[in-house]
Amino acid sequence: MRGKITSRDDYVLASSKKLYKIGIYVPSIREEKREVVLNLLHLYANFSKQNIQSAFVRGGNVAISERVSAIDAANLILLNQKLARLGVYKKCVFTYINKTNLEDSEFKTMIARAQITSEKGRQTTRDKHVLQILEDIQNNKITESEALEKMNMALVEYKNKEIDLSKECYTPIFTYNPDVRDKASTKIDRGLDIGVNQVERNYPFDNLMQPLLGFTNYGKRMIDGVIYDDKMKFVAQSGVEKYRDGILSAKRDGKTIGQADRSGNIILNKHSKLIKRENGFDIKLTIPLNLQAKIQKILEESNLKYKAQEIIAGIMDPNTGEILALASSSSFNPNIGKRDKNITNKMRVVATERSFEPGSTIKPLVFSYLVNRKMINFQEVIDLHDGIYKLRTFTIRDSSPMKNATPEQILIKSSNIGMTKLTRKLQGSQMRDLFKTFGVGENTGIDIANEATGLLPKVSILNREVEKGTTSYGYGLRMTFMQLLRSYAVFNNGGFLVTPHVTKNLISPNEKIFYPNLEQPQQIISKESADYMKRLLHRVVKEGTAKRADVAGLVIGGKTGTARERNNGETIYNGSFFGYASDKKRTYTIGVVTYGSQANEDYYAAQTAAPVFARITELLVQEGYLERKITE
């Protein structure tokens, strides 16, 4: 079975179950015992008496249900054994077919019959199937083992076509079994036919944890040229399910291999081999469902208020890289039968799969690089041209015009002109090194499928004065939400770039616990530079553009960013806030992005992302993750 996925607070988020098909072979049940069987089946598995009675009337091998639970199936197996011991069933003879040579005389007879009926224009579906197998063999489209399996199964159909399976129980019935020798026969109390019909993946909390969790579909198989769902095989589609597909997937089913006696029973001796079933690993996430659910509700409410396309938010432990929440206002129900029709539009984990121009949220990254390399004169007063600056033929504007400012005030007041001037002496190679230092253009390594890398301009582009200037304030390059969240964690952990991850541990079928293999944190700026940036980002909240992100009783720092982009011919705005919340004991790096705000609504990050950040931080206090300092 495919392994289950659980939350940090031990809720089962995804699990698999087998559903059984229950059939009843009517000719094997003694007529005088059928009323007893009917009542017992109703009692054991709550089957409809009317359906069972209809099966008795139709005769043959009739399916009663195709979605029976494992518990009910186990009870029915015990019932079947008891009924057999009590003589309720007649003995039915089965003869096994397992030809091991394609030149077998019975195969040749079957092929000749199919060719003759084809020439006379009287071929049946069985005849067509046999001739198709023959053609596939001749054209090397199937292997010899595949051909043997197909020919054996076709031979079973030919032999059984003369038997009235709805009436006969004493006539030998033929069946194919690759583990039993050819022409072995057995008498069995057939009664109920109980077997696995399909496996099903269940997500008990519906849209919670989506799209992060991801989902599975069924595989496909072709039968007689028609494609059907293979309901015994999962194919992971997205999110954690897809990233961890290899370790979640079951490795093999259990079975016994060996020689069989005349009755078709495997002889257990030194030559027989028991292959144990090997289930997939279970996975425990770093994310508590309780926290994720409450953040998702905040995002859904905020999205209605701001009329955006989607709002996402994430919380990370900056020291370990553990993700405590990664939620979206856009989610879906992955359960089959309840699945959203537009699931393909909602299944993307936007936090890792979508890149965007970061706007002013890039400025602390640029500033910290310059600070760390001692490339800033903090006493310098820089001319900001009253908010309008001509760079060759390109005009740069500040939303809050200033005549001049120190470097710190440039970041606090978010001056585009100031950032352009702070980076004007950098070469294109230095600008590229700056962005690469923070992982722009590279995977973060997060354990979610389909991670995007963003866009890092070439050195030749960054050597151009205008392009170098615009990238310094977040245009002309692209980053993902996760890249930004990871970058801002650097200011909270002493200067280290860590690997974000949502997997807490992996549990093997024998209950051994393993931990994800993460890259070692890489120090990209000094502790002194990181601590300085942390203090400066606190001033940005207190004095600058992010005042609505502030929360009383906590230390809050961060930076807003608003960037426009074209979408289907219209201009939309992406508003971001990335920063931290701290109570001096614990610190969390938090990011919020509001995608697709309209110009006629609130669209600046200070109006959208910053207030959402504040609500999430208040929630962390309520849930005990942070402790508010009460001042007299």
Residue 184 lies in a domain: no
Domains held by the chain: number: 3
- pLDDT by residue (tens digit) across 89-137? 888 777 888 999 999 999 999 999 999 998 888 888 889 989 999 999 9
Residue 452 lies in a domain: yes
The rounded distance, in Å, linking the Cα atoms of 338 and 332 is 10
Least confident of 16-20, 125-129, 506-510: 125-129
Residue 631 lies in a domain: no
Is the pLDDT confidence value at 462 over 50?
Answer: yes
Q: How far is CA 110 from the centre of its chain?
A: 48
- pLDDT by residue (tens digit) across 306-352? 888 999 999 999 999 999 999 999 999 999 888 887 788 889 999 99
Confidence class of residue 423 from pLDDT cuts 50, 70 and 90? very high
- pLDDT by residue (tens digit) across 350-364? 999 999 999 999 999
Confidence class of residue 266 from pLDDT cuts 50, 70 and 90? low
What is the average pLDDT across 413-442? 95
Average pLDDT, the chain: 90
Burial zone of 330 (CB within 10 Å; 0-12 exposed, 13-18 middle, 19+ buried): buried
Q: Is there a contact between 276 and 550 (Cβ–Cβ < 8 Å)?
A: no
312 with 456, same domain: the answer is: yes
103 with 87, same domain: the answer is: no
Q: What is the pTM of this model?
A: 0.82
253: domain range? 5-93+191-283
Residue carrying the six token digits 């030194």: 270
What is the average pLDDT across 130-149? 90
Residue 340 lies in a domain: no
Q: Which of 53, 51, 78 is nearest to 65 (CA)?
A: 51
What is the average pLDDT across 19-25? 91
Residue carrying the six token digits 């009664």: 191
216 with 362, same domain: the answer is: no
| Alpha-carbon distances of 609 from 259, 355, 418, 561, 579, rounded to whole Å | 69, 17, 24, 9, 11
Element (H, E) at 540: helix 527-543
Q: What percent of the chain clears pLDDT 70, i.e. is strictly above it? A: 93
- pLDDT reported for residue 209: 94
Residue 628 lies in a domain: no
The rounded distance, in Å, linking the Cα atoms of 129 and 30 is 37
- pLDDT by residue (tens digit) across 278-312? 889 999 999 999 999 999 999 999 999 988 899 99
- pLDDT reported for residue 615: 97
- pLDDT reported for residue 193: 85
Q: Which of 96, 91, 93, 37 is nearest to 62 (CA)?
A: 37
Boundary residue ending a domain (168, 203, 228): 168
Confidence class of residue 253 from pLDDT cuts 50, 70 and 90? low
- pLDDT reported for residue 543: 94
356 with 478, same domain: the answer is: yes
The rounded distance, in Å, linking the Cα atoms of 504 and 618 is 25
261 with 312, same domain: the answer is: no
592 with 472, same domain: the answer is: yes
Beta strands in 286-429 (DSSP E): 310-316, 323-328, 355-356, 382-383, 388-391, 394-397, 404-405
358 with 433, same domain: the answer is: yes
Residue 174 lies in a domain: no
Q: Give the largest Cα separation in the chain, rounded.
A: 104
CATH of the domain at 203: 3.30.1390.10
Residue 464 neighbours by CB distance under 10 Å: 14
Is the pLDDT confidence value at 262 over 50?
Answer: no
Least confident of 10-19, 176-185, 463-472: 176-185
The rounded distance, in Å, linking the Cα atoms of 611 and 609 is 6
- pLDDT reported for residue 183: 85
Q: Which of 84, 86, 42 is nearest to 64 (CA)?
A: 42
The rounded distance, in Å, linking the Cα atoms of 130 and 154 is 7
The rounded distance, in Å, linking the Cα atoms of 35 and 53 is 9
| Alpha-carbon distances of 413 from 364, 409, 416, 539, rounded to whole Å | 12, 6, 9, 10
Least confident of 79-88, 324-333, 449-458, 576-585: 79-88
- pLDDT reported for residue 91: 80
Query: What contacts 217, CB < 8 A, 6 or more positions away?
Result: 234, 235, 237
Helix ranges, 167-272 (H): 239-243, 245-248
Q: Which of 611, 608, 586 is nearest to 597 (CA)?
A: 608
Residue 179 lies in a domain: no
Residue 185 lies in a domain: no
Q: How far is CA 526 from the centre of its chain?
A: 36
- pLDDT reported for residue 604: 81
Least confident of 7-21, 240-254, 367-381, 438-452: 240-254
Q: What percent of the chain clears pLDDT 90, i.e. is strictly above it? A: 66
Confidence class of residue 171 from pLDDT cuts 50, 70 and 90? low
- pLDDT reported for residue 261: 44
Pairing of strands 513-514, 323-328: unpaired
